[in-house]
Amino acid sequence: MSSPVYLSVLKNSELVRRVVEAEKALQNCHLCGNHCGIDRTQRSGPCGIGDIAYVVNYGPHHGEEDVLRGRYGSGTIFFSGCNLHCIYCQNYDISQHVTGRPTLPQQLAEMMLDLQNQLCHNVNLVSPTHVVPHIIQGLVLAIKAGLHIPVVYNTGGYDTLLALNLMNGLVDIYMPDMKYANPEIGKRVSLVEEYPAVNQAAVKEMHRQVGDLVIDEQGIAQRGLLVRHLVLPGELAGTAEIARFLAQEVSPHTYINVMRQYHPAYKARNYAADDAPLGRSITPQEYQKAVQQAQTAGLYRFDERRRFA
């Protein structure tokens, strides 16, 4: 097993500088594509979060991709709030409302170390973009206290290069969503501007930092890029275009999870028009077509379920 990349960052005292930069970023926030510019030490941004992170829950999670969950689970930490406002969000109760408990950096570090003690294969930061400064402070403390398992950055994919530069060298595995190929769809159903442009720039930078996904002999991811793509009804997600982008502009070796679990949640049943049929689940035919589109584009590393002994 290779050592997490952040252990080398710690040796050159880069973490101290990174904490200072993260604190400044919070005072004029441009961590996501919303570019709100708000001083979040004074009030919350569109994400709903100010100068303290809220953690809804944490613990071993066995529902993640096989390369993350392994035998002992992926060590997920679920943050409240979100920089996206997807009308079909299946976790809207924690993403669109501030819930959970306020969590100081020391408490966040203790959670990370507890997950490691429970033999989780990684620390999986769920919805991290808007709390990057808080995460960095917690990571610094956890690393100094002995954290030594990979860190997963599990994001909706609306991250700016500022956020990713702050996390560079601290993240082993980037796991972004690639939700839409059409900016108008992103605006209509996630209420954000220019999602594809922000998302594609972010994914390129993530791959530049960590490369293609590396999996060890036990089948557990150690480093690299893992993309999630949720198939939407009526081909709203633009699977063919996203797959072409990944194969041609990122890497044909990109590991991708083409996900079939879409179902109407939150406000989705209010959007049942022919041009945005989010009021229904996807059909088996729509899912198979999406997989074929990804294969046609040249992608071949697909997430598949298997049993762990």
Helix, strand, or coil here: 7?
A: helix
The DSSP secondary-structure symbol of 88 reads T
What per-residue confidence (pLDDT) applies to 218? 93
Concatenated DSSP letters for 206-259? HHHHH-B-EE-TTS-EEEEEEEEEE--GGGTT-HHHHHHHIIIII-TT-EEEEE
Largest Cα–Cα distance of the chain, in whole Å? 56
Helix, strand, or coil here: 226?
A: strand
What per-residue confidence (pLDDT) applies to 307? 56
Write the single-letter amino acid at 20.
V
What is the torsion angle, in degrees rounded to the nearest 10, for the CA atoms of residue 152, residue 153, residue 157 and residue 161?
Answer: -130
Q: How many CB atoms lie within 10 A of CB 145?
A: 13
Q: Is the pLDDT of residue 309 over 90?
A: no
pLDDT class for 14, splitting at 50, 70, 90?
A: confident
Is 309 or 126 the better-scoring residue by pLDDT? 126
Torsion sign over Cα 42, 43, 44, 49 = positive
pLDDT class for 208, splitting at 50, 70, 90?
A: very high
* Nearest by Cα to 269 from 189, 183, 185: 189
**Structural Rg of the chain based on CA atoms:** 18
Query: Strands 101-103, 255-259: parallel, antiparallel or unpaired by DSSP?
Result: unpaired
Torsion sign over Cα 293, 299, 303, 305 = positive
Give residue-wise pLDDT tens across range 42-93: 999 999 999 999 999 999 999 999 999 999 999 999 999 999 999 999 999 9
* Nearest by Cα to 208 from 258, 251, 162: 251
d(CA 3, CA 223): 10
What per-residue confidence (pLDDT) applies to 15? 84
What per-residue confidence (pLDDT) applies to 1? 63
Is 2 or 258 the better-scoring residue by pLDDT? 258
How many residues belong to the chain?
309
What per-residue confidence (pLDDT) applies to 82? 97
Q: Is the pLDDT of residue 222 over 80?
A: yes
d(CA 246, CA 227): 9
What per-residue confidence (pLDDT) applies to 63? 93
> Residue written as tokens 């490691």?
116
What per-residue confidence (pLDDT) applies to 43? 96
What per-residue confidence (pLDDT) applies to 13? 77
What structural domains and CATH numbers belong to the chain?
6-302 (3.20.20.70)
Q: Is the pLDDT of residue 273 over 60?
A: no
Q: Is the pLDDT of residue 3 over 90?
A: no
| Buried/exposed code over 88-111 (b: 16+ C-beta within 10 A; e: otherwise) | bbebbebbbebebeebebeebbbb
Element (H, E) at 27: helix 14-27
Q: Is the pLDDT of residue 231 over 90?
A: yes
Give residue-wise pLDDT tens across range 138-164: 999 999 999 999 999 999 999 999 999
Q: At what angle do helices 195-210 and 183-190 cross, to 10 degrees?
A: 100
pTM: 0.95
What per-residue confidence (pLDDT) applies to 276? 64
